[in-house]
A and B are shown apart, each in its own frame.
Chain A
Amino acid sequence: MDLNGIIDKLECDCKCCHEGLKNEVTGGYAGDLLSDVMANSSRGDIWVTRQIHQNIIAVACLNDLSGILITQGAIPEDATLEKARSEGMPVMVTRMPEFEAVGRIYHLLHYREKG
């Protein structure tokens, strides 16, 4: 599944880098501690977080994540989107709380073929 598939099902908006929505999502990671995400996320993961400052772009790029989903309706800072554009890292936002967003994404990635 690519990021487009997740956007369709999760009622979220893409704030940056629409061209990256074709990125394949191979898994996911949720967290707001950057060291935790650095050490434990994997290439291709979608990262679900409440953090909005520009350091999240560096972390996502270093780990080759597929995209960042910001939860709870939080609005990414301008500097975050500017950096995301320069790196080509898709940033999406949803009004859902982190728990619900993660649950839905997990279901999409693991059970979508079973309906």
Chain B
Amino acid sequence: MKRMTNNVSGSFFVLGRGFDHAGEVSGRLKKVFLAEKMSNEIIRRVAIITFEVEVNIISYADHGTIFYHVDNDVITIEAVDQGQGIKDIELAIEEGFSTADDEIRELGFGAGMGLANIKRFSDTFELSSVPGQGTSLKCTIRTDSTKMDL
């Protein structure tokens, strides 16, 4: 099912607090990867990562952009946002830690699983942030990789 793909790339703008639109970018990206005939497992991992990235921007940033790029066997997903940023990255990645407010939690978000999920479903994961300014995230998925624990 795997296909060698070169230079498939694009980006999506995401507006903060637009909860009604959560999942739209992930849905569009899923269609891109379906068209590229990626395997179901890879598409699932891309969808999960992008969904969580999208929800994080919506929940905690003023706005942000999600970039995707496929080069040979590596899918790269990057997100850059402008917003409150993260004070303690180590803590933020821990499953269960969350700074979500009640509005976010009532919608079923903010359980402290987002960053943990992104890390779990990525092959590489980098996160940096400047509190009060914003956050940058970069993760990759190798299209020839299989995560046995998923």
Q: Which A residues are closer than 8 A to B by beta carbons? A: 32-36, 38-39, 43, 51, 53-59, 61-63, 79
Q: B120 on the interface (CB 8 Å rule)?
A: yes
Q: Which B residues are closer than 8 A to A by beta carbons? A: 19-20, 22-24, 26-27, 30, 40, 44, 47-48, 51-52, 55, 107-109, 111, 113-114, 117, 120-121
Query: A62 touching B26 by the CB < 8 A rule?
Result: yes
Query: B22 touching A36 by the CB < 8 A rule?
Result: no
- In this complex, what residue of A is CB-closest to B111? A33
Query: What are 14 residue pairs bridging A and B, where the CB atoms are less than 8 Å apart in the complex?
Result: A32-B108, A35-B109, A35-B114, A35-B117, A38-B47, A43-B40, A51-B107, A54-B20, A55-B22, A55-B107, A56-B108, A58-B26, A58-B51, A59-B23
Contact of B117 among A38, A55, A59, A61 (CB under 8 A): A38
13 more CB-based (< 8 A) A-B contacts, given A38-B47, A43-B44: A32-B108, A33-B108, A34-B55, A34-B107, A36-B111, A39-B117, A43-B40, A55-B108, A56-B108, A58-B22, A58-B27, A61-B23, A62-B26
> Given that A55-B19, A55-B22, A61-B27 are contacting pairs, would A39 and B48 also be in contact in the complex, using a CB cutoff of 8 Å?
yes
Does more than half of chain A's interface fall in helix, strand or loop, or is it mixed? helix
In the assembled complex, the Cα of A113 lies from the Cα of B43 at a distance in Å of: 34
Total A-B pairs in contact (CB under 8 Å)? 63
In the assembled complex, the Cα of A56 lies from the Cα of B109 at a distance in Å of: 11
Residues of B within 8 A of A61 (CB): 23, 27
Residues of A within 8 A of B114 (CB): 35
Query: A62 touching B108 by the CB < 8 A rule?
Result: no
B25: min CB distance to chain A, Å: 10
- In this complex, what residue of A is CB-closest to B24? A58
A79: min CB distance to chain B, Å: 7
B54: min CB distance to chain A, Å: 9
Residues of B within 8 A of A59 (CB): 23, 51
